[in-house]
Amino acid sequence: MKRKTVLVSCLTIIAAIGGLVTLNAISTTDKQRTETNARAETADSDMDVPEKIANTERIRIVSYNVENLYDTIDDPNTDDDDFTPNGRNQWDETRYQEKLEHTAKAICAAGQGEDPVLVGLCEVENATVLHDLLTRTKMENCGYSYLHKDSPDHRGIDVALLYQPNQIKILSKDFLHVQLDGDGNTRDILYAQCQLKNGTCLHLLVNHWPSMRGGRAESENKRDAAAEVARHKIDEIRKTDPQALIVLMGDFNSYPTQNCIVHSLGVSNNTDKPQTDGLYNLMYRYADNNGLGTHKFEGKWGVLDQLIVSGPLLNQKSKTFTTPSSAHICHFPFLIEKDRDGNDTPKSTFKGTFYRDGYSDHLPVMLDLYLR
């Protein structure tokens, strides 16, 4: 049976549509990191100096596919056997703890001296790993709560949202089921309606769409199905509020120019004249840059991890807004290693079954919002 998370006094279980949602609050104390150390970790990235806009407060959103953050306990209901002490990856407590610490380091570094206010995560196994991430690493003093629900994915990997409850109030949440043809299952899309410190409402969708396994074209219909679920939710939000501030983030397992992004989801890659009813991909500027991406496949960088916003968020006269240049890839030196040809590649946890003591096969991405 799956190990059950030990509940501390600040852990609350609440019922949500479609199942059980875990909300975990970790107390905030004095920060243990210094801004100097954080900036040293992020040196030489493309985001060394956050944009400053007069008379605003900046908050940071991070999206990160953490690559197989499993605990060590076998779940008989999912295909997680490789990530057990006797499994193919020899996933023991030592490796698990190193993975937790590496994940925390990457998230903290993405804040550049400040804790990100919202963190969307892909490839987390369960509430146990989230609790451990927030209590057994340098994040234990950061004060995060989280949203999570076990999804029907056959590998048992889910999406989750970390948030700072002193800056964000969760007004509502849902886990949107993506039905695939046949009896295949994939990750839910996490939806959260948040109230920011300045009173404005932000709608978040954390995505981890089906992979390209079996071929990009052959699997496109699976990602189309996920896009349609996300699009339906966006249309529903806009019926109530045509000026809704919406952010979609996560691992879309698609490139910015693919049909499932551009047509099925309805995203524009041109932010020059944003329209109220439009969606805009702020990661498109990296799409043709083979020297930088979020993931590398067959020696080529690609942008699978994206940040997509609604048109009203690009209106700098708004009370809450962002800019096209406020989205970045966290191309931090400690997340990178050299491949056999001497080129940069993400320092992943495994290459096949060979343990590399790395971070993830994806790089985090981040987006700054500005509040008046």
Q: What does the pLDDT look like over 64-86, one tens digit per residue?
A: 999 999 999 999 999 999 999 99
The residues facing 337 across adjacent strands are 345
Which pLDDT score is estimated for 289? 76
pLDDT surpassing 50 at residue 260: yes
Using a pLDDT cut of 70, give the percent of the chain over it: 87
For 321-358, b where at least 16 C-beta lie within 10 A, e where not — what string? Answer: bbbbebbbbbbbebbbeeeeeeebbbbbbbeeeeeeeb
User: CA–CA separation, 279 vs 262, rounded Å?
Assistant: 9
pLDDT surpassing 70 at residue 34: no
pLDDT surpassing 50 at residue 116: yes
20-24, 119-123, 125-129, range with the lowest pLDDT: 20-24
Cα 310 to its chain centre, rounded Å, is: 18
Q: Which residue has the higher pLDDT, 47 or 347?
A: 347
Average pLDDT, stretch 236-260? Answer: 97
C-alpha pair distances (Å), 183 with each of 79, 217, 309, 350: 16, 20, 32, 29
User: CA–CA separation, 210 vs 180, rounded Å?
Assistant: 9
C-alpha pair distances (Å), 49 with each of 39, 106, 145, 286, 328: 10, 17, 28, 18, 11
Average pLDDT, stretch 6-30? Answer: 43
Q: In terms of DSSP bridges, do strands 279-281 and 267-268 run parallel, antiparallel, or are they unpaired?
A: parallel
Closest CA to 325 of 267, 280, 275: 280
User: CA–CA separation, 80 vs 84, rounded Å?
Assistant: 7
| Tokens 């997680």, residue located | 80
Closest CA to 365 of 38, 52, 62: 62
Which pLDDT score is estimated for 49? 72
Q: Which residue has the higher pLDDT, 23 or 318?
A: 318
pLDDT surpassing 60 at residue 37: no
Q: 1-15: per-residue pLDDT in tens? A: 444 443 334 334 333
Average pLDDT, stretch 100-110? Answer: 98
pLDDT surpassing 80 at residue 298: yes
Q: 239-249: per-residue pLDDT in tens? A: 999 999 999 99
Q: 204-228: per-residue pLDDT in tens? A: 999 999 998 777 877 899 999 999 9
Q: In terms of DSSP bridges, do strands 169-176 and 158-163 run parallel, antiparallel, or are they unpaired?
A: unpaired
Q: Which of 209-218, 275-284, 291-300 has the highest mean pLDDT?
A: 275-284
Average pLDDT of every residue of the chain: 89
Which pLDDT score is estimated for 1? 44
Average pLDDT, stretch 298-313? Answer: 96
Using a pLDDT cut of 90, give the percent of the chain over it: 78
52-66, 106-120, 184-198, 209-223, range with the lowest pLDDT: 209-223
User: CA–CA separation, 89 vs 28, rounded Å?
Assistant: 35
pLDDT surpassing 60 at residue 17: no
pLDDT surpassing 70 at residue 128: yes
pLDDT surpassing 80 at residue 137: yes
Q: What confidence category does residue 366 fall into, taking pLDDT thresholds of 50, 70 and 90?
A: very high
User: CA–CA separation, 30 vs 140, rounded Å?
Assistant: 11
Q: What confidence category does residue 33 fall into, taking pLDDT thresholds of 50, 70 and 90?
A: very low
Angle value at C-alpha 250, between 55 and 206, nearest 5 degrees: 80
Residue 124, φ and ψ in degrees, nearest 5 = -105, 140
